[in-house]
Chains A and B, each alone.
Chain A
């Protein structure tokens, strides 16, 4: 009987990773669900495309090598995010290549100038936030993680996550306020 992997829960997919005949398709489904979010998190945390790709690859390889048949996976995205976070922190501590931070500030060709501008400003504003607030905001805005998943990944209560997110996003708005006011004057509508 064929298994429809897209209908399986995260816990079921994780269990299938231990079964050789299901391993490939189960991993493909997990990758489809969370690959982009983990990649976006790595890109935003590390500021550097090459480092982010290395961290992203390492994250999923570590995940694959850590699969054990007897583990109950209750929060797969948080688990993946925890591996990604550890990998990124290790990489960040090793390389200290802040000089390449400007790389991602240059927008992609298919983006509009306005979108590039606001993304660059958000990127710079994120760097001004305290580390915990920044990490929570990146997980929520770019990796599309829920409060619960962020709390699991960071190992803090959900109320703390809510507080960090609220403070972090308010600070972002304060930092970007002059930009929005300027835009409002130029483009009132």
Chain B
């Protein structure tokens, strides 16, 4: 116990904290004990070595210079926060819009359109035997993009007519001209607008008209698909997103339970398998907002929520006629946007489950990269998240 107290005195003495009244006792003990002398020697060696080593640990000159420069008062920055109408943001939006339009048209032109569509036109009543009825029933191949053709007569101009009037009549066909007075408006009523797939009014095979051979119509008519694929539609979707991986997770604190937090809203215009969209989001994301104080110093404020808006495009897998992928459609998209602090890019990959004709459930995996300026530097933050939501198609 006595030895222990003397050993304590060694450190107190070397640190200059040994009281004067204890020093004589300490020196006497030191003189009497070789073990205490050896311990004192070791303490001095360690103390001196550490002090010498500490003196050699000097901050690098470049680091010193940068820190001293940081203390120089700066004139208040005119505007360090990037606003919505900042030039950089406008350039980004213009770039996004251009890229989206180009991508959309490239996707549309390169999409696999059906080369031809079987169109069965039947005008008049074949069973009536009326000589005034035009008996032109034929199978005509027309491009789907052509929706207007020359009219049959001068008195009526049906919207969807075949150029059959220009063909050479075959043998046995009624080639007599039709008197104008026998034509009635009822017989030449413009045909209703044809559906996309030009499905026949009835899946039953039709009776071959007079003057046509059976071989000409022997091929079975295509059955209508179970679900019609609309040519174009608008999609309004709302999703809730949850962060899976966030590099700056330790900067964030739990959010209050607000229904708006981590919400994404998208408006989309889709033609077949390609769409363009505008999307906005309100997500939890660590952002250092930089502002200049009155004395010119830079203030760093950690913000938790990020408003952003952007545009992009999506590609959907073609709808299958049957099977799982009749209603389940894989999709991928890219969105570029801007927030009030900087610019961002998103990549999306997921599924759209078209449960009802006008309702879908979307499940997406999203990667988000956000860049914003801190002073003269750019800071990047990344997030991987998953989102689930509803989409209304109309």
Within the complex, which residue of A17, A65, A119 is in contact with B299, where a contact is CB–CB below 8 Å?
A: A65
Q: Does A115 contact B49, Cβ atoms closer than 8 Å?
A: yes
Within the complex, which residue of A108, A115, A144 is in contact with B54, where a contact is CB–CB below 8 Å?
A: A144
Cβ contacts under 8 Å, A40 to chain B: 54, 57
Within the complex, which residue of A24, A56, A57, A144 is in contact with B73, where a contact is CB–CB below 8 Å?
A: A24
Q: Which of A70-99 contact B (CB under 8 A)?
A: 94
Minimal beta-carbon separation of B30 from chain A (angstroms): 15
Within the complex, which residue of B39, B43, B297 is in contact with A64, where a contact is CB–CB below 8 Å?
A: B297
Interface size, B (range): 35 or more
Any B CB within 8 A of the CB of A43: yes
Question: How far, in whole Å, are A35 and B58 apart by their CA atoms in the complex?
Answer: 8
Q: Which of B27-58 contact A (CB under 8 A)?
A: 38-39, 41-43, 45-47, 49-58
Q: Does A39 contact B41, Cβ atoms closer than 8 Å?
A: no
Cβ contacts under 8 Å, A28 to chain B: 68, 71
Q: Does A115 contact B46, Cβ atoms closer than 8 Å?
A: no
Any B CB within 8 A of the CB of A53: yes
Q: Which of A23-46 contact B (CB under 8 A)?
A: 23-24, 27-28, 31, 35-37, 39-40, 43-44
Interface string of B292-319 (1 = CB under 8 A from A): 0001111110000000000000000000
Question: How far, in whole Å, are A110 and B47 apart by their CA atoms in the complex?
Answer: 20
Question: How far, in whole Å, are A118 and B42 apart by their CA atoms in the complex?
Answer: 11
Q: How would you classify the secondary structure of chain A's contact residues: helix, strand, loop or mixed?
A: helix
| A165: nearest chain-B partner, CB-CB | B11
Q: Does B295 contact A173, Cβ atoms closer than 8 Å?
A: no
Cβ contacts under 8 Å, B300 to chain A: 65
Q: Does A56 contact B63, Cβ atoms closer than 8 Å?
A: yes
Minimal beta-carbon separation of B71 from chain A (angstroms): 4
Question: How far, in whole Å, are A141 and B15 apart by their CA atoms in the complex?
Answer: 10
Supposing A57-B67, A141-B54, A142-B54 touch, asked if A166 and B12 sit within 8 A by C-beta, the answer is yes
Cβ contacts under 8 Å, A67 to chain B: 297
Supposing A23-B71, A169-B11 touch, asked if A53 and B45 sit within 8 A by C-beta, the answer is no
